[in-house]
Amino acid sequence: MGRSMSTSDDPFDADRALVRSGCACGRHRSTAEHVRAERTLRCEPVADLSEQKRYEGIVASAVMRAVFPQDVARRVLLKSVGAATALAALSQFFPLKTATEAFADAGPPEKKDLKVGFIPITCATPIIMAAPLGFYARQGLNVEVVKTAGWAVIRDKTINKEYDAAHMLAPMPIAISLGLGANAIPFTVPAIENINGQGITLAIKHKDKRDPKDWKGMKFAIPFDYSMHNYLLRYYLAEHGLDPDTDVQLRSVPPPEMVANLRADNIDGFLAPDNICQRAIYDGVGFLHILSKEIWDGHPCCSFAASREFITTAPNSFAALTRAIVDATGFAAKAENRKQIAEAIAPANYINAPVTVLEQVLTGTYADGLGGVKTDPKRVDFDPFPWQSFAVWMLTQMKRWGQIKGDVDYHAVAEQVYLATDTKKVMVEMGLAPPTSSYKSFSVMGKTFDPAKPDDYLASFKIRKSS
């Protein structure tokens, strides 16, 4: 990524053809290289490119293509006069600046004053930090981020349109769209908030019980029934031979109550979002058994969600919001920005937690609660792309644990709710390089998930709710 403008075509690079040769995203020299990179591809914005520059590149590329339909002619011109001269000449008779601005705006937002709800945990980092660090303002939006008491309340307030969009657990928009635990209302996920960033925390007294096989009869807390936390903990327990419905107790507990309950000995542990895990360690009541990334590296956790109605009534506002979130997520993905972010989101107006705790979560250098200091820069990470295969996986787990009864059209639901195609479009407009596919395979505790065969995957689990 060292080359500037490498995400979009640099129309003033004489050595490069415009899109037609090279790969689909324009980031790699050949299609083969693109495909190879694709597997590990993370759609991060390019570091050395300001947004303005990126849009300028795209607009200039389009103009160049219009002025010189033939690549050969363009290259000859560039070779003979040089890129700077060509750009200057081009701007003489084509106001690139205006075009760039018009492109970046892409239609003024129908509604500028927006309310976005969040739950005070580090998963909401991009949604929260976009306010103090100006990512919303840059898209011409005036967004108020409102702290909310719990998942059920954030769901109801978003359904009631008190919020235009909200931070939700990744499975929640699927559950709402399917009418599980609420009236069926079509909801969408234009962006994933964070990947990884959760953990299993146990009470200090269990420090010698590190084998899950010894956990029979223990009580665990999860934040919500329709949460990755629920599915990951159940998965983890089941892989170790425990039936999560009969061998242990799982309780839905709001995150702040988890630490208090752990201290009071009401629960033995929890699979919870961070800063809660780190907070339990900070207060000396628990230790980190494993990070959630040890169950599934790169798993989604929380999502940025909006109702389909909001998209149809205010498509430009929605696109601007998506751009702000994608940008903020890209910013948060970079390790060097994490300290600044921790300081920006720690005050009482946002997460309201000690800065040290947030720093340990975001930088990945943390106390483990047993006297050791560990380092894992990917403890929490940020990647906005709403892979539809994530949604398919969640659906298999919803079926596995009896939340969905009967048949479900995995791919139709995933494509309705996880807006990979629209997000791709937005990312391309922003000059980013989204993945070409919307499904990818991944492995959970060493077991590969093939999004094309969800029913086979589901059938392969021995421990599941008998229905």
Partner 1 sequence: MTLSLRLRAAIVSIVLFAAFLGAWHLATRSSGTTAAMSPEYARLMGLTATQGKSAMPGPLDVGAKLWEHLKRPFYDNGPNDKGLGIQLAYSIGRVGLGYLIAVVVAIPLGFMIGMSPLISRALDPFIQLLKPISPLAWMPLALYTIKDSSISAIFVIFICSVWPMLLNTAFGVASVRKEWINVARTLEVGTIRRAFTVILPAAAPTILTGMRISIGIAWLVIVAAEMLVGGTGIGYFVWNEWNNLSITNVIIAILLIGLVGMLLDQVLARFTRMVTFPE
| Contact positions vs partner 1 (CB under 8 A) | 120, 144-149, 153, 156-157, 160-162, 255-256, 259-260, 263, 279, 281-284, 347-350, 352-354, 356, 360, 365-367, 371-373
Give the distance between the most distant pair of CA atoms in the chain. Answer: 78
Task: Supply angle C-alpha 21, 22, 28, rounded to 5.
Answer: 170
Which residue, 156 or 247, has its beta carbon nearer to partner 1? 156
Provide, rounded to whole angstroms, the least separation between the CB of residue 166 and partner 1. 13
Q: SS in 3 state form for the chain?
A: CCCCCCCCCCCCCCCCCCCCCCCCCCCCCCHHHHHHHHHHCCCCCCCCCCHHHHHHHHHHHHHHHHHCCCHHHHHHHHHHHCHHHHHHHHHHHCCHHHHHHHHHHCCCCCCCEEEEEECCCHHHHHHHHCCCCCHHHHCCCEEEEEECCCHHHHHHHHHCCCCCEEEEECCHHHHHHHCCCCCCCCEEEEEECCEECEEEEEEHHHCCCCCHHHHCCCEEEECCCCCHHHHHHHHHHHHCCCCCCCCCEEEECCHHHHHHHHHCCCCCEEEEECCHHHHHHHCCCEEEEEEHHHCCCCCECEEEEEEHHHHHHCHHHHHHHHHHHHHHHHHHCCHHHHHHHHHHHCCCCCCCCCHHHHHHHHHCEEECCCCCEEECCCCEECCCCCCHHHHHHHHHHHHHCCCCCCCCCHHHHHHHHECHHHHHHHHHHCCCCCCCCCCCCEEECCEEECCCCHHHHHHCCCCCCCC
Which residue, 136 or 449, has its beta carbon nearer to partner 1? 136
CA distance 39 to 132: 34
CA distance 432 to 27: 9
Is the sign of the CA dihedral 74, 80, 86, 90 positive or negative? negative
Q: Which amino acid is at 134?
A: G
Q: Which amino acid is at 252?
A: S
Token readout for 426 is 């937005």
Which residues sit opposite 291 in a β-bridge? Answer: 199
Token readout for 148 is 């909310």
Using alpha carbons, select from 98, 138, 145 the residue that is nearest to residue 120.
145
Token readout for 18 is 């415009």
CA distance 79 to 76: 5
